[in-house]
Amino acid sequence: MNTKQKYKVLKKYILNLENLVIAFSGGVDSTFLLKIAHDLLGEKVIAVTAKSCSFPQRELNEAISFCKKESITHIICNSEELSIKGFSYNPINRCYLCKKNLFSKIWNIAKNAKINNIAEGSNIDDNNDYRPGFVAISELNIKSPLRYANLTKNEIRILSKKLGLFTWDKQSFACLSSRFPYGQEITYEALSMVDKAEQMLLNIGLKQVRVRHHNNLARIETDEIGFEILMDKNNRKKIYKILRDLGYAYISVDLLGYRTGSMNETLNI
pLDDT tens by residue, 41-62: 999 999 999 999 999 999 999 9
C-alpha separations of 134 from 20, 55, 97, 120, 243 in Å: 19, 19, 11, 10, 34
The span from the CA of 226 to the CA of 228, in Å, is: 5
The CA distance from 195 to 86, in Å, is 22
- What architecture does CATH give domain 3-169? 3-Layer(aba) Sandwich (3.40)
Strand order in the sheet with 217-222: 209-214, 217-222, 250-253
Enumerate the CATH 3.30.300.20 domain ranges in the chain, comma separated. 176-266
CATH top-level class for 176-266? alpha beta
pLDDT single digits (tens) 121-178: 999 998 877 788 889 999 999 999 999 999 999 999 999 999 999 999 999 888 999 9
What mean pLDDT is reported for the chain? 94
